[in-house]
Structure 1
Amino acid sequence: MSGLIMAAQLLLGLSILVILHELGHFLAARAFGIKVEKFYLFFDAWGVKLFSFKRGDCEYGIGWLPLGGYVKIAGMIDESMDTEQMAQPAQPWEFRSKPAWQRLIVMLGGVIVNIAVGILIFWIITFTYGETFIPNSSVQGINPGIIGKEIGLKKGDKVVAVNGKKVIQFDELISPKVLLGNTTLTIMRGGKALDIKVPDNILNKVSDLGIEEFISRMPLISSSIDSVYSNAEKAGLKKGDRILAVNNNPVKYSADVKDELKKFKGKPAVFMVSRGTERLSYSVPVDTAGTIGIGFNVNELKQETVNFGFFESFPVGVNQAWKVFSDNGKGIWKVLTGKIKANKAFSGPVEIARKVYGGVWIWERFWFSTGFISIALAFMNLLPIPALDGGHVVFLIIEMIKGKPMGDKFMERAQIVGFVLLLSLMVFVLGNDIFKAVMH
């Protein structure tokens, strides 16, 4: 069922964004009197379509190939590769007949809409739900995994600043500003401040092992028991007990207890606990999964919610959209400079469904994820690759500088090169997604 929910969220989210992106091109073209011949969600490759109707001089429909969507703008060399139309004399209602600045706006229409939609979603989410977070000042410390320990972090460290800026929210520690690397974490350890460098290529390892192996999403909490069942209940442990040691190994945090239990899978372990003024000892069988049937007091983690007024929420939404946009830019730069491997940085539809939307339908998460993807799509479409909006924009800027358009033959060949690049990228990310899903 979770797989179906993931797929449904991905399909709905991307369908909304593709329609709105293409609507941006459509409305801009119509505003300048340019004829739009087709408006399609998904591609009707080889003329195969699931649904279509015609209104005025434009055909609207849904294609069978779910790789995005398109609007066919008359007099433009695009994915339709309609060379017959381009061989005819230019008509006043065609794209090629319009001034370069108008054509530039038409090509930027989809990106502008995606950015506006992302800002709108983040704005409304902020107004509706506010910002809920764990204050970094209230946590006892971090629980680093393999990756975190490799760079020098230790259990119980308290990260107080990132690049010299005070950490307010605990989840800042696993945000892109840290994971994109070349970051300095200032930590407090034993009353002393230390600086630890996060390397440029940290995302390669995080992609392989998961974020929990860098810094756990769960801050450290004490070893106080909040609930008992199964073996723990039978052995005599009670809610409110605080575990002091496991097989004479002192423990302070719940994470310490879990680490000790891994050593005794399928065997009994002796627990020293404090109960009021008493110190008690219990032998508890540990199951093969390394658990005994206890829950810890997560209520120790204090959450804060900051609510914003309608207009106060707007700059928060703009800032969130900018962070997503700039993080995409930094990520691409890391790939181009060889700091991050492409197979670690790029995700396709399978990974987006698994890691962005998830297997549970939560409307707040759905809309936040859709807003995130809307900004990411805007960035990707601005890349200067022929067949993408960014490629057309580059050619139009060159035309405006030169004072004359690029030749039709050049544009046709550039479009073919762009298609090959995009198809290769699609095959790469899809194959990469399937590999990650199988391996994890």
Structure 2
Amino acid sequence: METFLIRALQFILAISILVLLHEGGHLFFAKLFGVRVEKFYVFLDISIGKWKGSLFKWRPRNSKTTYGIGWLPLGGYCKISGMIDESFDTEQIAKTPKPWEFRTKPAWQRLLIMIGGVMVNFLLAFAIYAAIMFNWGQTYYKVSDMKMGMRFSTEAKTIGFQDHDIMLGTDQGQFKEYLNVNGDFFRQIAQAKRVDVLRNGKKISITMPGNLDMLAMIKERPLFAEPYIPARIDSVLKDGIAMKAGIRKGDHILALNGKKIETWTDWNYQIGILNDVMTVKKTTRDSLTIRKAILVVSHTSNHKIDTLRITLDPELKLGVTQSNLASYYQPTVEHYTFLESIPAGFKHGINILGGYVGNFRYLASADGVKSIGGFGSIGGLFPPYWDWYMFLNMTALLSIILAFMNILPVPALDGGHVMFLLYEMITRRKPSEKFMVRAEYIGITLLIILMIVANLNDILRWLNVM
């Protein structure tokens, strides 16, 4: 419960900041051009009966704008006079246009008002990344430094990769880091015509199709490629199953239930199979049978190989800490001065945006639709503890996602309004208000459907149905 609350608090705080600044971008340009803003709300104040839905509201003296906080944390809004938006205030639109209304302003001013929120979100993300670069620098593991190479899936081996190949680069350039939030490593392989590897001290080039499905590469288990991390015990939990069985730090797992284990990838894959079986077998007897395991372990202290019969805990845990990248390799750390951090943060933000845009095309597939996540998935991206580095990284990422999603040419989003404004500026013809209202209804319907699908996916994942 505590973990859930910490994640929920981080999620709500991040969304509050993003919505406040996004809507603040609209507010700034509206006020700049003399457009009246009737309401400025963080979160939605949907009315239920006589209750108006505001947790807090305030209107400054001599101001036409009411500021408030709604009860429903699903975004926010900036209600601008004379604009057809999600409020569907058709009564106001039917009246004679007033000089302080959105619809009476030049198209270029209306365009700036509409892109103000997106601009602020992009600037916020770049500023956060610059601050991260300045305070923490950039830490990552170079792919070329992984001297034990990679462990590859069956599909990868069919193409020509072999376990322990050290990944050097592709026809698009050298690899930098193995994994980051936008999956550059896998995207580079998916789009490559050639991948260069170091095999037994010799450089070898592997011919690639150039159009691999990146989403499938990431979703398949084992992964298409991941660092070769031997199944060596990093530490043993006190009084745990492993300690009672005589397993110690530094020992290697060689087999599980007759299946050869070389890496922690192999171990996690076999445990995943057992977990799937356990999901189907619900009785206590079945569960106990599945949890009984035969381990073959090589002891580091005396080089002796033991066959151990143990019973894993109800979550199929052995009671050990797995070795990881940090157990074998030194990370590369890049530090930046204040002036250096600004272009570095901007470059990193552009890279994240490019990766997100590149991944967006996968949403058109069935697997892409299944990969969409709702509030639960987004909240789960935050760590189960408070960490400013992780919080700022996630807030910057969500700011970029919010900006990109809002600029899509979909009615009801900022991008939909921008699309119609550009049409007006090019053709010198303004879409009719009746058309705009209908487009807004269509856009709202599409967004509601998308929200339902995303959160339904979360529920199905929670129920282990998907």
TM-score bracket for the superposition, by shorter chain length: 0.7 to 0.9
Q: 2:373 aligns with which of 317, 334, 347?
A: 347
1:360-439 counterparts in 2 under 5 A? Answer: 360-439=385-464
The residue aligned with 1:203 is: 215
> Which runs of no fewer than 5 residues in structure 2 stay unpaired?
275-289
Comparing 220-229 with 304-313, greater Cα deviation is found at: 220-229
| Aligned residues with identical type, % of pairs | 35
Q: Is the contact between residue 270 and residue 283 of structure 1 (CA under 8 Å) also seen in structure 2? A: yes
**C-alpha separation in 1, matches of 2:83 and 2:181:** 47
Question: Among 58, 63, 75, which residue is 2:65 paired with?
Answer: 58
CA distance in 1 between partners of 2:452 and 2:87 (Å): 21
The alignment partner of 2:179 has SS state of helix
Q: CA deviation at 1:117?
A: 0.5
- The answer (yes or no) to whether the contact 1:223–1:251 under 8 Å persists in 2 is yes
In structure 2, the CA distance between the partners of 1:395 and 1:91, relative to structure 1 (3 Å rule), is same
How has the CA–CA distance of structure 1 residues 14 and 173 changed in structure 2, closer, same or farther, with 3 Å as cutoff? closer
CA distance in 2, matches of 1:247, 1:415: 59
SS of the residue aligned with 2:186?
helix
Q: CA deviation at 1:119?
A: 0.6
Cα-to-partner distance string for 1:84-131 (whole Å, 9 max, x where unaligned): 111221111111111110000000100000100011111101111111
User: Which of the numbers 129, 132, 140 marks the counterpart of 2:136?
Assistant: 129
* Amino acid across the alignment from 1:160: L
Aligned residues: 431
**What TM-score, normalized by structure 1, do the two folds share?**
0.85
1:64: how far off?
2.4
Give the secondary structure class of the aligned counterpart of 2:339. coil
Change (3 A) 1:182 1:247: closer
Deviations 1:255-305 (A, max 9, x none): 678889999974565545565xx7544454444367766656653221221
Matches of 1:24 and 1:245 in 2, distance apart?
58
Aligned-partner Cα distance in 2 for 1:194–1:166: 13
Pick closer, same or farther for the CA change 1:16–1:164 going to 2, 3 Å: same
Deviation at 1:153, TM superposition (A): 4.8
Q: 2:123 aligns with which of 92, 116, 129?
A: 116
SS, match of residue 344 in structure 2: helix
> Hey, what does 2:204 align to over in structure 1?
193
Select 1:182's aligned residue among 190, 205, 208: 190
Cα 1:160/1:61, change in 2 over 3 Å:
same
* 1:159-178 equivalence runs, <5 A: 159-171=167-179, 175-176=183-184, 178=186
- Match status 1:49 vs 2:54: yes
Of 140, 150, 171, which aligns to 1:142? 150
RMSD: 3.5
What are the within-5 Å matches in structure 2 for residues 15-414 of structure 1? 15-46=16-47, 47-55=52-60, 56-139=63-146, 140-144=148-152, 153-171=161-179, 175-176=183-184, 178-179=186-187, 182-184=190-192, 185-190=195-200, 191=202, 193-195=204-206, 196=208, 200-204=212-216, 206-207=218-219, 213-216=223-226, 219-222=227-230, 226-227=234-235, 239=249, 266=292, 269=295, 271-273=297-299, 275=301, 279-288=303-312, 298=324, 299-336=327-364, 338=365, 341-354=367-380, 356-414=381-439
Work out the CA distance in 1 between the residues paired with 2:43 and 2:441: 19
2:204 partner letter: A
| 1:6 CA displacement | 1.9
Q: Equivalent residue of 1:182, what SS? A: helix
Change (3 A) 1:319 1:174: closer
AA aligned to 2:6 is: I
Amino acid at match of 1:171: L
Q: In structure 2, what is the Cα distance between the partners aligned to 1:418 and 1:241? A: 58
Contact 2:40/2:78 (8 A) holds in 1: yes
Whole-Å separation in 1 of the counterparts to 2:293 and 2:447: 55
Report Cα offsets for 1:17-52 as digits up to 9, x if no partner: 001000000000000111111001112223422221
Q: Secondary structure at the match of 1:143?
A: strand
Q: CA deviation at 1:376?
A: 0.8
Q: Distance in 2 between the 1:421 and 1:223 partners?
A: 47
Cα pair distance change 1:265/1:148, threshold 3 Å: farther
Give the Cα separation in 2 of the matches to 1:295 and 1:87. Answer: 67
Q: CA deviation at 1:187?
A: 3.2
